[in-house]
A and B are shown apart, each in its own frame.
Chain A
Amino acid sequence: MKRLLFCLPLLFCLHSFAQDIPIEGQKRIFFPYPMEKGWQTSVGFIATTLPLDITEEAHFRVPAADIHLLRKLAGKFYTDIRFNVQGVQNLATLGPRWATPLSKRMSMSIGNDVGFWFGRINVGGIKTRGHGFQNYPNLSVGYRFNKRILLTVRGEAIMNFGVQTEAGSTPVKSQYRFLSGSAYSVILEQPFAGKKSMTLGFRAMYTDYFWQTWTLFENYDRNLFFPQFIVGLIL
């Protein structure tokens, strides 16, 4: 929240009276706009702070490598492909997007990402493993400021299904809700070094289940807050 409040004044400042630059040709990965070229790639990381309600005295902020690709399909359609990699546990998502301009500066997209996560971790000498599926229907609205600053505001529903975990040989049958919660993101993209662009984002997740916490075998049926910080370099 403090970080968001810090960002807000920056947003006001961004809209200065500089020369306007058209969206075409600007590198973007989250900004909802029809693609001109075949591929767009971004690499970076996502750091998630896990709530004390489930981690207790250990305050984890777990980074995951974030590899994000867009593939143009046809017209206003493209595919969003994403990998969150931690080695011992990983998530891959894939989903179509349809994006369209709304005005000279605004645009939007709708999409649906299907994900699969899997992990295998030795916890205190006990081999645990798990996997599950996710679904993220999402809506993004973008606003293009001057000076090539792209702002994306995104809302997503979070759905979890097919979660299967095992501690040693003991199956852990947790009954997670299919409709697990929702997430809200604010993402800025702007030119960075050379011809690259940079992504800075904040994603607030409210969910009863976050795949990275599967080894904790929690049984909550209430939404907890998982803040995420997104940093990426658009190649």
Chain B
Amino acid sequence: MHIPDGYLSPATCAVAGGLALPAVRSALHRARKSVGPRRVSLLALGAAFSFLIMMFNLPVPGGTSAHAVGAVAVAIALGPASAVVCITVALVIQALVFADGGILALGANILNMAVAMPLVGWGVYRLIAGGGEPSSRRRVAAAAAGGYAGINIAALLTGFEIGIQPLLFHTASGRALYSPYDLGQALPAMIVSHLTVAGFAEAAVTGLMIAYLLKANPALLDSTTPHKAPRLAAALPGRKLRTAFVGLGLLLVLTPIGLITTATAYGEGSAKDIAGEIGYAPKGIASAEKSIPRSPLADYALPGLPPVAGYLLSGALGAGLVAAGIAMPHWLRRRTRGTGPGARGDQTCS
């Protein structure tokens, strides 16, 4: 899961770092604002704990081993913003001192394991744990599901970042300049191993940790008890819209799968595609193509960008427009009623 230097191009590292940096800055700001002087030691011990969790290899079926990340457990126990800071610090120490993960690739590793993993895992935990007073069993199950979802989203991002390298960066002779495994190889390798093995190891560790804390130290979890801190539920729109957002998010992260196939979707080809298929282009289609103005993002491509980057950016842009379209009426309604939720704060425990 820790990407070393050399596997990703500096351009990919810069983009990933550009995405991770605001998240870490925001998490630091929230963490600093929330508790003050006491926060430093809590974050430091949380980071040291995260580091140690990543050092323990768990035996998995097949004779191999996998290590847990513990990001979701830390997010549940200390709050999502604290988890972002803790895992970031653990990753920095690993990269600098123990050469586990690259220094240039730090942005990508932080994005995968310190930002996406705890936030997605924590979100899944809160969705399953619900807004009432769930039983301990339900919270343990929610934590396990959060751990499973969190590590799989991190694996998906890792596979995607590694998989786009040979598509974007290679010489004319076909020599890959960075990781040689393309999306069709890197994504299944990461996803299958995490869906079937490492995900369950993470789920077990997260679930057992929360089970232990519920029994031995429930005070530590008090601040993240859904009925005491239902800010996420309050901030999000209704259940149906929430489900829509979850579905949209899932579709968005699966967008890169579209790059695996090179075939044209049935019935969606251009006049040229049709001519290639059946030997000629019907006159009506050819003339319509000329008379209808072309979309600025035709063929999911952006002018000046490589096809793969254009495809992914188009996907993200389209999804963002859909999300904005869904959220705008809800936001306007809340705004006119004057009942919009305030800024979401970090859930803290000290």
The finding on whether chains A and B are genuine partners in a shared complex, rather than unrelated, reads no
